[in-house]
A and B are shown apart, each in its own frame.
Chain A
């Protein structure tokens, strides 16, 4: 790490840019503009933010720009505008104060107020607040890099000519044009700032700043012409996405869309690998711009994998991203990789060896399953091969799709809530099969109800909170003159995630064995015990927990419940149509495992209320009795292909597993068997419980210790204690 990077990294960790942040709410609403279409008013809000944001360039920065406008801290003036808290849907199945992960934020992002009271009320009726966005998307980076803002402007002007001025299409396109104008002014201001800063600096830094000014002036209009311009334009684009979408937006496949710039610069001699590493490091540090504000920034990048033409897309940048990550060692971005059967073993091995302060093997996504799975959902094969992931780990087609998650839950449906509804009826069933059938019927109807509910809300979004900034980057929106919230882009999908599967499966196995087969406990007693949260039933709880077969141990009888529930869930979801002319696409993952565990009562797997759920398709904590191969074998039994928004197995491995070359080989072999066997995604958490405990006790010493919580990385010390404890428990019991 050179001096520049070291110093910028320290600044990021100490949040040196905090001094440039201002905190206030704003409204753009005036008597003159209140009759404008909502989308144009929303655009005005974005423009106002661009105008008001203080600009700064830190010493040594090669990539510039940051969000500097935030909501007031709690207790400060909160009049007008809205904070990220209020953007969360109100019709939740559970805890509406959702983002429990966010700890004592020093102030959230917000969006200037742009709705009339009457419009706000209309939104509130379906549970969406002003400025609500679904995030979980990736901008069309390749589109912007190749066309530039002038290119988009031209497209919008052409498209606008085809619509009557009073149409919604024209309103959308006018918004886009306003936004582009404001963006160009904003970038010009950065150019001017770089120029004036340059005057204060000595030779080398002066030249850098003068060059920054040139870069900004070029990219405010034209396509990116070289690697540095491409990085700067990518960052600005992402910054605009964050401003419109708060956070939780991903960067898609940067090793693909940045590669041509890198390659031609290297070939022309303009760039050497060392300079590329420095530029990328500056870019990575920029991506940590808001990491002091959120525990989860969801800044995912996914590298390697097939190109649209079906050949391997792993390139020098894929390798360089890994190297940069290891140099910079900050929480963001999170590196994920795509695997296919021609992935070079050297790359796989390198990726598995990624280290932060401890091994941080990437999440590994399986092209062989996802591409045909997406294709079957109607995604053209070239586009399917270009999939990426969003800010969590949901699969989408970057720049071409809108995979945003369903409403009705924070993130997906809580399958255990369905189970909770059904379980009181257990004493009425005289066979296990009859109970099981009731559960499956309930699941089917719940999927349909949730889809309807989602559509009811979804169809209101264009009127309450369209997203013209994101939309203008997505394929199809400008051409169609339609915002993505109204179905303007190429693939208008709704990602439908189910969570809690493993605890249901374990509960079913326990009921089958103890209530129906061995009759160790009556259905009545069990339901009573659950109602009492096992208070006074400790022995029963232990029996259910310790003396029942569990998911994740390659036990066919147990695994078959998972297979069937996953199939029914997948099939039912895939039948649903959304309000944007697209369809629902299923995925099975359990995130927010602590929060979801709090909102569901005791379960027959011996889990008391408040205990965390199993993460995604991993065994419950402490139940990986037969080791990781069997845990993966259980997960493999599911037909992952029909769940192409994603599934995931998150296994905790002993730190030593990735230490020696020989052991690493074995972990890689195990991973490949899982992927070859139809698994969709796997990630390994390599944590040492002692370190985690030390970090819990002395957080100040471990402020940069990065851990994986589910689909995201976070600084361990910023997590709520409950999540810290859950991670320690996983680290302790995950692997023998």
Chain B
């Protein structure tokens, strides 16, 4: 049976860096990976999650009154949130006038997602369209294919942003609707990948190889993370991996940034990157050079 709804974190309009033209990006909730540097930590868990922005809290106490699980308490002029009991029922959300509480993960049907995207339909013109991102869109069962089908009946360009850690059959099925893949390529070393993302990259690399042998348009998205892959060696390995496909692939180098760190505290999670800094522009240029010199068309993004 097809899932009627999927959990959506956000639908972002006028997304500038999620593909060609003007795009609307749909962020699904749930990801098989758990990357240490993830700047969308609210997208990792496949369940709804409560975010608490303490800086907006006015200590009105309405959440304390309304929560059936008694998760909230006010002590020493501070609102405490005990997440252990929270079942993400969301009853506190409408009571929070200050918008200090937000429930991430709105259950939306394909039609609801479509109509939210279509708000921007006029702006797409020839190039733009919808980017399906997350989280991982390809773990959303049949729902994702229904949505892609729906987008295609409206002739909307689709970029699929995937981590690649899914059975290849799912990628294969998505081929018929996908105009461009944004395929995350994090590192080639198995051990490092496992350590930093929680999964072995064999499947990801195999899937990428297979996909590269189809006629799909693919952009490899390479996050450059200090301590993980921000060294010549790793970038060279990536270049070697991509070398056979240099005619058809484009690489994007995306520097690590810590702009997502506040989200961790809002989710009650520790930020695992500490005070790691973005790789300097010079360093990024060096990596871009390595790839470009191999003959792989590479674009450098700023944070």
Contacts and interface: CB of A to CB of B under 8 A. Distances in A.
Query: Is B one of A's binding partners?
Result: yes
Interface of A: 538-540, 542-543, 546-547, 554, 626-630, 633, 656-657, 663, 666, 669-670, 673, 677
B94 interface: yes
A539 B58 contact: yes
B168 interface: no
A542 B16 contact: no
A481 to B, nearest CB: 52
A673 B12 contact: no
A626 B302 contact: no
Contact of B21 (A543, A547, A669): A669
Contacts of A669: 21-22, 123, 125, 128
Given A539-B60, A669-B21, A627 B12 contact: yes
Contact of A677 (B13, B16, B22, B122): B122
B300 to A, nearest CB: 10
Most buried by A among B22, B60, B123: B123
Contacts of B99: 542, 546-547
A283 B128 CA distance: 43
Given A539-B58, A546-B98, A627-B12, A673 B119 contact: no
Given A627-B14, A663-B16, A673-B125, A539 B119 contact: no
B98 A673 contact: no
21 contacts: A539-B58, A539-B62, A540-B97, A542-B99, A547-B94, A547-B99, A554-B119, A626-B13, A626-B119, A627-B13, A629-B119, A630-B13, A630-B14, A630-B119, A633-B120, A656-B302, A666-B14, A666-B16, A669-B22, A670-B14, A673-B122
Interface in B72-105: 94, 97-99
Contacts of B302: 656
Contact of B22 (A539, A543, A656, A666): A666
B58 A538 contact: yes
Interface in B1-41: 12-14, 16, 21-22
A543 B123 CA distance: 32
Nearest to B60: A539
Contact of A666 (B12, B21, B62): B21
B22 A629 contact: yes
Contacts of B120: 629-630, 633
Most buried by B among A543, A547, A666, A669: A666
Given A542-B97, A543-B97, A633-B119, A670 B22 contact: yes
A569 B140 CA distance: 49
Given A539-B58, A629-B22, A673 B123 contact: yes
Contacts of B128: 666, 669
A633 B117 CA distance: 13
Across the A-B interface, give the 5 residue pairs with the lowest CB-CB distance, nearest first. A542-B97, A543-B97, A627-B14, A627-B13, A546-B99
A670 B14 CA distance: 9
A554 B302 CA distance: 30
Nearest to B127: A669
Contacts of A546: 97-99
Interface string B280-303: 000000000000000000000010
Nearest to B119: A554
A629 B123 CA distance: 8
A395 to B, nearest CB: 25
A629 B117 CA distance: 11
Contacts of A547: 94, 97, 99
A629 B16 contact: no
A677 B60 CA distance: 45
Given A633-B122, A666-B21, 19 more contacts: A539-B62, A542-B98, A542-B99, A546-B97, A546-B98, A554-B119, A627-B12, A627-B13, A627-B14, A628-B14, A629-B22, A663-B16, A666-B14, A666-B22, A669-B21, A669-B125, A670-B14, A670-B22, A677-B122
Contacts of B14: 627-630, 666, 670
A543 B60 CA distance: 12
A729 B268 CA distance: 29
B13 A657 contact: no
A673 B120 CA distance: 10
Nearest to A656: B302
A666 B19 CA distance: 11
A538 B60 CA distance: 10
Contacts of B60: 539
A689 to B, nearest CB: 15
A554 B21 CA distance: 20
A287 B219 CA distance: 51
Contacts of B125: 669, 673
A594 to B, nearest CB: 25
Interface string B113-132: 00000011011010010000
Interface string B205-247: 0000000000000000000000000000000000000000000
Most buried by B among A539, A540, A554, A656: A539
Contacts of B12: 627
A542 B128 CA distance: 37
Interface string B148-162: 000000000000000
A583 to B, nearest CB: 34
Contacts of A656: 302
A29 B67 CA distance: 80
Contacts of A543: 97
Contacts of A539: 58, 60, 62, 97
Contacts of B123: 629, 669-670, 673
B21 to A, nearest CB: 7
Contacts of A633: 119-120, 122
Nearest to B16: A663
A540 B58 CA distance: 12
B199 to A, nearest CB: 31
Interface in B163-205: none
A656 B257 CA distance: 16
A41 B158 CA distance: 72
A633 B119 CA distance: 8
Contacts of B94: 547
A110 to B, nearest CB: 49
A627 B14 CA distance: 6
A539 B302 CA distance: 40
A363 B60 CA distance: 44
A150 B98 CA distance: 69
A628 to B, nearest CB: 5
A542 B58 contact: yes
Nearest to B94: A547
B59 to A, nearest CB: 11
A390 to B, nearest CB: 31
Contacts of B97: 539-540, 542-543, 546-547
A21 to B, nearest CB: 48
A657 B302 CA distance: 12
Nearest to B13: A627
B81 to A, nearest CB: 19
Contacts of B122: 633, 673, 677
A657 B22 contact: no
B158 to A, nearest CB: 18
A539 B119 CA distance: 32
Nearest to A518: B94
A550 to B, nearest CB: 13
A538 B97 CA distance: 9
Nearest to A735: B14
A596 to B, nearest CB: 26
B112 to A, nearest CB: 14
Nearest to A547: B97
A715 B97 CA distance: 38
A622 to B, nearest CB: 11
A676 B154 CA distance: 21
Nearest to A543: B97
A546 B22 CA distance: 28
Contacts of A670: 14, 22, 123
Contacts of A657: 16
A472 B128 CA distance: 53
